[in-house]
Amino acid sequence: MSGFVLSVENLTRRFGGLVAVNDVSFQLRKGDLLSIIGPNGAGKTTMFNLVTGQYPPSAGRVIFNGADISGLRPHARAKLGLGRTFQISKTLTTLTTLENAMVGAFLKRQNLSEAADYAMHVLDMVGLGARAGIKAGTLTLSERRRLEIARALALDCSVLLLDEVMAGLNQKEGESVIDLVRKLNGEGLTIMVIEHNLKVVRAFQSRVIVLDFGRLIADGTPDDVLSDPHVVEAYLGRQDA
Amino acid sequence: METFLNIVIVGLLLGGIYGLVSMGLNLIFGVVRIVNFAQGELVMLGMYGAYLSWYLLGLDPYLSALVVVPCLFVLGVIIQRFVLQPLQNEPSMQIFATFGLLILFQNIVLAITRGTGYSVHSEVSRVVLSFEDINISLSRLIVLIMVILVAVGANWFLHSTMYGKAVRAVTQDRRSARLMGINVELAFMLTFGVGSALAGLAGVLLAPIYTLSPQIGGNFILAAFAVVVLGGLGSVWGAFFGGFIIGLIEAFAGYYLNPELKHAIWFLVFIAVLIVRPGGLFGIAGAEEVGLREQD
Amino acid sequence: MNKTDGQAMPAALAGNGATMRPKVTTFGTELGRIGAIGVFFAIFIVLFRGDPFILNMMAYTFLFAALSTSWNIIGGFGGQFSLGHGVFFAIGAYTTANLYFHWQISPWLSLVPGMILAAMVAVAVSWPTFRLKGPFFAIATLALNEVALVLATYFDGITGGPRGMLLPFKAGLENMVFTSRLPYAVIMFGFLLVSLVAAAWVLRGRLGYYLQAVHLDEDAARAAGIDVLKVKLTGMAVSAALTGIGGSLFAMYLRFVDPPTVLSIQDIGVKFLLIALIGGVGTLYGPLLGALLIIPLESYLRATLGGTIPGINLLILGGLLVIFALFMRRGIFGAMQGLWERRRGARQ
């Protein structure tokens, strides 16, 4: 009704006395590419985990395709179409690359060969087709990141959440992952990215929100946001301090 | 009323035994993050050690601690160095390996003793203190006093000495501890050694109370697991109070229900605690998960 | 078929062009392999049909191979190291023994209630214990086995208590009681085939992939839409049901059931796991291989040295457990697989 795929309303999460995410609200339309940035400890990953259901929120709601999913557990959210990757990549190391993708593909396909075919299809999509038969434990870091994206795509997800997919990659690898993300977004996939690196955010040239101490302090285009004095202060500290 | 008091005393004395048996297990878990399934067998070895010292050297079981405790310390260091250290990142293999040690120790003793039951005598174990209708055997009282001393000592050690602080640093964050120049492997070996020595001490003190059998470790390990799960893994006071809680439950269940059902009652308590407070009554919530997660 | 609203993945996206998909082992392939194994052992049975000693050994080997294969479904594929499978084994044994003893119900029929009861108890007790991970799950299952032992000894109306239950000898196919050892070896062989087929069906289908995902990384599994608890419970139910069948067959083979035998931690519960470890935990044929080595070795040790050195068989098994944990974590089958993969890799 509202036209938003994902809408976060006054989301708050406390850990004891610490407020990791504080009254954050934002919306995503279909086909958006949104970057969440902020200094270390700003609450980005907590925010992510609230959206994917790793923790329940202390207050606020997450609305996905018009339905309140705040009370659902992670696997149920994945079933509805929320795909994610992890900051520390979680590939299933003793399975092959293909089998890793199949674990995702089985969500909507019962049959083994159907799941394998679809898994192969998404591996081709992320550029891992040639590595399908080898053990995922032997993949490079950037390949593992791609594999996690493939596993999420195999779920037929409608929103993909990427947690620092560029971390630890060299420039060339990073650029190729950026290309992949843009390509997927260009095909209509709604994507939310956590990023630490401001260069990456500029490369996307799309909407950015900034978290600092759990609060949303800016929301706009990369150029606007990165010149906002609050954001500069959050990243660099106050000049006079 | 006297019955009630009697049951409480029986329970407390039993709790002392369980607490003492759990101390080593809990220490090893708390620091090395390994669940030592063979801990009950270390207690059993301590008991046989006391018997052997008495048989060969004519030592009173209580004096045999001077021999047995250092021997088990060395055994513990050896186990940690040669069995568990290579398996540091293999949690499931740790289960296999310590379970293998359990079977191994138990059956080595069985093969040597051929299943003959032994008992150890001490002048002390004949002494019974009586207050009106209440009888307390001195050997059980000694266990109770010892568990208090061990708990206080362990707490003092961990919080007030440099070594203790280093050990706690290792527990909290292995990598940082390593960066601070703490030799983590050595700390683990010493901790396992101390945990094993505590099992030996428990064995020595329990030798005059129980009839020795190779399978006796099984009784202790389950009680010890119940205690640490109840009290909280890795918490010294958790093991201390957990022991008394289990002891009291057993004493009351034994009197009002049926002594044969005590295991079933432990288990129910155990499951209930796991569901309500997975970290135990005194432990940090989530400790049962931390146990598996590699910290490096 | 499931192109739900707003789906992201139009086929046009397959930018790099389709690559040949590597072959995925199917259930059908495994059926062929199991068939080959079946023919091999069938010949073996025929060859030794007149030798009661070998038939007895085969019956035990097949039984424990099947039980370890069943344990492996949740323990190996799913990574949940249960030490309490003796409970499900005992449930099968006592269900069959009671129905036969009191109501003369054919053991062939009572396999079914034994299975169902074992699976139900497994789900009921695993529900709370699956909150626990790794060693803590193992402890809880160990405790469960001890509780079962206490209860079985205490409720002697059902179990005959410490005296046990001696089942009447009335030879006949319908009673599953025979004078010769041959039919027992055949029955155990049948059970082995059933459990291998069941394990293959699990491993080569969605449940198997889900169990492995849960084993390797629960967070990743959840992110892939897997209901971790449900998958574990399903795996446990299948595993326990098969274990229950084993208990029923064991009761009829010995015609005697008592708590210390069927609920022995070392001789029953841990043995399933030990056999799997030696053969290869989590591999389909590892448990079979492990049983082929362990059961004959154990009977040999017991027969030759058991009288002079009690516990020698378990002593060796305990030692093997430590040695395999240290040096051959993937078991014999896993090690062979590794060698084969390396050789194939070198050739390419």
Query: What pairs with residue A83 in β-bridges?
Result: A160
**CA proximity to C245, closest of C62, C31, C104:** C62
In this prediction, residue C85 has a pLDDT band, given cuts at 50, 70 and 90, of very high
CB-CB under 8 Å, A91 with C11: no
In chain A, how many H helices and how many E strands? 9, 10
Residue numbers in C near A103 (CB within 8 A) = 209-210, 212-213, 220-221, 224, 226
Higher per-residue confidence, B131 vs C188: C188
Instruction: Give the pLDDT band of residue B40 (cuts 50, 70, 90).
Output: very high
What's the CA gap between B176 and A145, in Å, rounded? 27
Higher pLDDT, C3 or C216: C216
Contact between chains at A106 and C212 (C-beta distance less than 8 A): no
Of C144, C273, C311, the CB nearest to B267: C144
B234: DSSP letter: T
* B residues 200..219 contacting C (CB < 8 A): 214, 218
Residues A63-92, mean pLDDT to the nearest whole number: 91
Q: What is the pLDDT of residues B224-268, one digit of tens each?
A: 888 887 877 777 788 888 888 888 888 888 888 777 777 778 777
The token pair at B160 is 């007030």
Look at phi and psi of residue C347 and say left if phi exceeds 0, alpha if psi is from -120 to 50, else beta.
alpha
CB contact (8 A) between residue B291 and residue C311: no
**Where is pLDDT greater, at C172 or B131?**
C172
What is the number of H-type helices and E-type strands within chain C?
A: 15, 2
**Contact of A194 with A44, CB cutoff 8 Å:** yes
The residue ranges of DSSP E strands in B42-172, in sequence order, are 128-131, 134-137
Q: Mean pLDDT over residues B213-221, rounded?
A: 86
Going from the C-alpha of A24 to that of each of A61, A196, C115, C305, the distances in angstroms are 10, 19, 52, 73
pLDDT, tens only, C141-199:
888 888 888 888 888 888 888 888 888 888 888 888 888 899 999 999 999 999 999 99
pLDDT of residue B42: 95
Q: Provide the b/e sequence for A197-227 (b: ≥16 CB within 10 Å).
A: ebebbebbebbbbbbbbbbbbbbeebeebbe
Is-contact C243 C67, C-beta < 8 A?
yes
Strand A33-37 relative to strand A190-194, pairing = parallel
Q: Give the pLDDT mean for C280-298.
A: 93
> In this predicted structure, what is the pLDDT of residue B178?
78
Residue C194 CB contacts under 8 Å (≥ 6 apart), including other chains = C66, C242, C245
Q: What's the rounded Cα separation, in Å, for the pair C211 and C232?
A: 7
Contact B178, B51 (CB under 8 A): no
Q: Which residues of B touch C312 (CB under 8 A)?
A: 107, 111
Asked whether the beta carbons of B221 and B45 are under 8 A apart, the reply is: no
ipTM metric:
0.91
> Confidence band (pLDDT; 50, 70, 90) for B296?
very low
- CA separation (Å) from B293 to B32, B193, C133, C135? 12, 23, 10, 11
B219 CB burial (10 A radius; 0-12, 13-18, 19+) = middle
- Nearest-by-Cβ selection for B95 from C138, C144, C309: C138
List the beta strands (DSSP E) in chain A. Answer: 4-15, 18-29, 33-37, 59-64, 67-68, 82-84, 159-163, 190-194, 208-212, 215-220
Residue with tokens 């009950």: B40
Helix (H) or strand (E) holding C257: strand C256-257
Q: How many CB atoms lie within 10 A of CB A93?
A: 14
C133 neighbourhood in chain B, CB within 8 Å? 288-289, 291-292
Q: Are B62 and B50 in contact (CB under 8 A)?
A: no
Burial C1-33 (b: 16+ CB within 10 A, else e): eeeeebebbeeebbeeeebebeebeeeeebeee
pLDDT digits (tens, 9 = 90+) for C310-344: 888 888 889 998 999 998 888 888 888 888 877 77
Q: Considering chain C, what percentage of its residues have pLDDT values greater than 90? A: 55
CB contact under 8 Å between C15 and A183, yes or no, is yes
Cα A131–chain centre separation: 24
- Among A125-134, B169-178, C120-129, the range scoring the smallest mean pLDDT is B169-178
**A37 φψ region: left (φ > 0), alpha (ψ -120 to 50), beta (else):** beta
Contact C322 B104 (CB under 8 A): yes
- Look up residue B75 and give its amino acid: L
C263, C157 Cβ separation under 8 angstroms = no
Q: pLDDT tens-digit profile of C20-77?
A: 888 889 999 999 999 999 999 999 999 999 899 999 999 999 999 999 999 999 999 9
- State the pLDDT at residue B259: 74
Whole-model pTM: value is: 0.89
pLDDT at residue B278, as a whole number: 62
pLDDT in tens, A144-161: 999 999 999 999 999 999
- The answer, yes or no, to whether residue B127 has pLDDT greater than 80, is no
- φ/ψ bin of C310: left (φ > 0), alpha (ψ from -120 to 50), beta (otherwise): beta
pLDDT of the residue at C155: 86
Do residues B27 and B227 make contact, with C-beta atoms less than 8 angstroms apart?
no
Query: Contact, B193 vs B28, CB < 8 A?
Result: no
C223/A90 Cβ within 8 A:
yes
Instruction: Give the chains touching B; criterion: ≥3 Cβ pairs < 8 Å.
Output: C
For A9-27, write each residue's pLDDT tens digit: 999 998 877 888 889 999 9
Q: Quickly tell me which residue has 């070795």 as its tokens.
A: C297
**Per-residue pLDDT at A76 exceeds 90:** yes
Quick one: pLDDT at residue B180? 76
* Higher pLDDT among residues A76 and C264, named by residue: A76
CA–CA dist B196, B76 (Å, integer): 5
Question: C346 or A26: which carries more pLDDT confidence?
Answer: A26
Confidence at C293, pLDDT banded by 50, 70, 90: very high
Determine the pLDDT at residue A196: 78
Residue scoring higher pLDDT (A117 or B92): A117
CB contact under 8 A, A75 and C226: yes
Mutate to test the interface with C, among A91, A112, A151, A159 (most CBs of C within 10 A): A112
User: Is residue C340 classed exposed, middle or buried when 0-12, 13-18 and 19+ CB atoms within 10 A define those classes?
Assistant: exposed
- Residue predicted with more confidence, A94 or C135: A94
What are φ and ψ of residue B153, in 5° steps? -65, -45
Q: Which chains touch C (3 or more CB pairs under 8 A)?
A: A, B
Question: In the prediction, which pLDDT does C208 show?
Answer: 96
B119-144 mean pLDDT: 78
Contact status of B266 with chain C (Cβ, < 8 Å): yes
Calpha distance A5→B21 (Å, rounded): 58
Determine which helix (DSSP H) or strand (DSSP E) holds C277, and give its type and residue range: helix C270-279
Indicate the residue of C136, C318, C322 with minimum beta-carbon distance to B83: C322
Q: What is the pLDDT of residue A2?
A: 58
Q: How confident is the model at residue A198 (pLDDT cuts 50, 70, 90)?
A: confident
Q: What percent of chain C has pLDDT over 70?
A: 93
- Residue A107 backbone dihedrals phi, psi, to 5 degrees: -55, -40
At residue C121, the pLDDT reads 96
Q: In this complex, do C222 and A81 lie within 8 Å of one another by their Cβ atoms?
A: no
Chains B and A touch (3+ CB pairs under 8 A): no
Secondary structure (DSSP) of A125-139: HHT-GGGTTSBGGGS
